[in-house]
Chain A
Amino acid sequence: MSEPVAREKILKGINASPGICIGKAYLVDKEGVDVVEKYSIKDEQLKGEVKRFKAAVKRARDEFHTILKNRPEELQRDYILETHIALLDDKMLYGKTIEAIQSEGVNAEWALKKIVSSLKATFEKMGDEYLKERASDVVHVSDAIMRNLVGVASKNIAAIDKRVILVANDLSPADTSQINLARIKGFITNRGGKASHTGIMAQALEIPAVVGLETATTAIKNDDLIIVDGNTGTVIIDPSEQTLFEYEERKSGYEEYKAVITRESHLRAETTDGTQLEVMANIEFPEEVISVKNYGGDGIGLYRTEFQYMNRPEFPNEEELFEKYHEVVELMTPQPVTIRTLDINGDKAIANHSGLNEANPALGLRAIRYCLRKPEVFKTQLRAILRAAAFGNVRILFPMISAYFEICEAIRALDEAAESLEKDGLAYRREIEVGIMMEVPSAVILADLLADKVDFFSIGTNDLIQYALAIDRGNQNVAHLHQPLDPAVLRLIKRVADVSREKEIEVFICGEMAATARHIPLLLGLGMDELSMNPQSIPRAKRVIRSLSVSDARLFAREALKKKTARGVFEMIQATYGDIIGELEYH
């Protein structure tokens, strides 16, 4: 027998999305998603390849000139842009790339990437901060050429032609919106906590993700074979035969388990004492409606609308927005679709909105604040939503309400949008339910006032926890303190639930908290009317609900609220419901 080979390496991180995958690693560049394929060019085709490169440079130059021409008169002298134009045919970039194509017989994209990487390295070694930054000019210019080489549609990561596991320092929403997601088996990142964007994205896609690994991008090389266990937060690099075998088994076990609970998910979730609870889905893309249907969602509890605003030079117009909303509403009807209005924040930067360079974006001009400041942007979206409402059951949800006047202004804007549609003679429906996100502590405190203006509250636990506990969930130094079970958080949720009951409006919960099986007894006991979560968590949530009784859950919640620490609440859950949930959770 040969000795066991000690080549396999194990990394531990945070399990951000369940599931197991085995595959080849694909490292994403620091600057973002940037994938360039390498292939050889036959001698007789080298001339053509050089020509292709030159044509791309020419198109990039034309682009720059167009930008320059369209500048207002007083800005005609744009030295940066002029320098970029001059850089386009700089010997060290242009000449060297052509040389590399010819001497190495490789495609233009690869040659360009190689030359730019070495130039970047040269600049980055410089002592002078200013000169160091000049690398960005070179990168900018080469990006423009690259774009013209590969064409916008197939840019960057879209060029991946096999299913891979993405390895990155961090993935921003802008990065992930460029990925051809069907090609990704799993995500692993150095940074991020449990509720980071990468995790939410992976859950939406139903692929495993492990985040907060710190050293993933240095420990893993391109094409390494890796196992990602999103259930336990483990990543194994270069696994041994035996480990591979073991994980193949675990993988099929997990998939079997998922299939079983999915089968019964199309039925309503009813507690043992006869209360029906709606289990809704959070979605970001219209395509996700399919998984909502597959997993038996009772409707859409949160439709995030930011994606249409990302990665583009200008805001979408009303038709584009309407088209997407209409698609979702029509597919879901008669079930409700809760459309949340634009919630831009620091994490989801909009390309065409300059001036959003805030030191503290989470506390800055975001969501409803931004929309009220930009009435035209807001109105365009409100009109699209009201038009879509004519085709099914739409509810509108305003994010980040932190003061009474904000909901008044938002409703006024909605009325104005309806009036303008009336004037234009377009089909729309104004009699829709209006709700607000409960995610800022001030809104919770003012819940009684706000309740008079709306039909429902939707508790966004991720942000509510962040603002209530002053924890940045993306910061791995404090991410462990982002505790849904913190007594302060539970009291806030209780207040929202109590006010809702008193004012006879509905109360929903749509944060990640609702997706965690062990939190469900508590949420049920606190009086939630609806839970909304990522689609693939729905079957398990329904299963948990079917095993609970509301009267027991109420008593339990009352006791749990007496606990002084998150730990105390957690232990009480384990002691009371550990058996039920343990059976349902997958190990």
Chain B
Amino acid sequence: MAEKEPKKSRETTIINELGLHARSAAQIAGIAKSSIANVWIQKDAEKADASSIIDILTLACAKGTKITIIIEDLADIKLLNAIVDLVDSGFEE
């Protein structure tokens, strides 16, 4: 089955010192888990499932990395914004 066209996506940049490490990935995954459809994090050509800590970690996003958060269903728009806010806040570290 072909993936649905992303209906909505937002770009953001990792600003916290450690980058997307285990704890920050866990925070994103915690939010993404309650999504209705898939939520993705894209870095360059690579895409990771935002509900999986491990998958996020394998993207290896250091400080300064530009990422795009993608949702497949507009019903998840609140989640999308929450994740972007979290990243922008530097995970409140």
Contacts and interface: CB of A to CB of B under 8 A. Distances in A.
Interface in A92-137: 92-93, 119, 122-123, 126-128, 130-131, 134, 137
Give the secondary structure class of A's interface.
helix
B19 A128 contact: yes
Interface stretch (B2-10, B46-54, B67-75, B76-84): B46-54
Nearest to B23: A79
A86 interface: yes
A154 interface: no
Interface residues of A, number: 21
Contacts of B53: 83, 86-87, 90, 92
A91 interface: yes
Contact of A126 (B22, B51, B54, B60): B60
B60 to A, nearest CB: 5
A122 B57 CA distance: 10
A119 B54 CA distance: 8
A91 B26 contact: no
A90 B22 contact: no
Contacts of A86: 26, 29-30, 53
A87 B57 CA distance: 12
B37 interface: no
B63 to A, nearest CB: 10
Q: How big is chain B's contact interface, by range?
A: 10 to 19
Given A79-B23, A83-B26, A90-B29, A128 B62 contact: yes
A130 B23 contact: no
A82 interface: yes
Contacts of B18: 130
Interface string A67-89: 00000000000011011001100
A199 B40 CA distance: 53
A138 B51 CA distance: 16
B89 interface: no
A131 B57 contact: yes
A127 B23 contact: no
A437 B26 CA distance: 53
Contacts of A137: 22
A93 B62 contact: no
A75 to B, nearest CB: 15
Contacts of A128: 19, 60, 62
A87 B22 CA distance: 9
Contacts of B60: 126-128, 131
A119 B53 CA distance: 12
B21 A134 contact: yes
A558 to B, nearest CB: 67
A93 B58 CA distance: 13
A422 to B, nearest CB: 55
Contacts of B57: 123, 131, 134
A169 B20 CA distance: 34
A131 B52 contact: no
Interface of A: 79-80, 82-83, 86-87, 90-93, 119, 122-123, 126-128, 130-131, 134, 137-138
Interface of B: 18-19, 21-23, 26, 29-30, 49, 51-55, 57-58, 60, 62
Given A119-B54, A131-B60, 12 more contacts: A79-B23, A83-B26, A90-B52, A90-B55, A91-B51, A91-B52, A91-B54, A92-B49, A92-B52, A92-B53, A92-B55, A130-B19
14 contacts: A82-B26, A86-B53, A87-B53, A87-B54, A90-B52, A93-B54, A126-B58, A126-B60, A128-B62, A130-B18, A130-B21, A131-B57, A131-B60, A137-B22
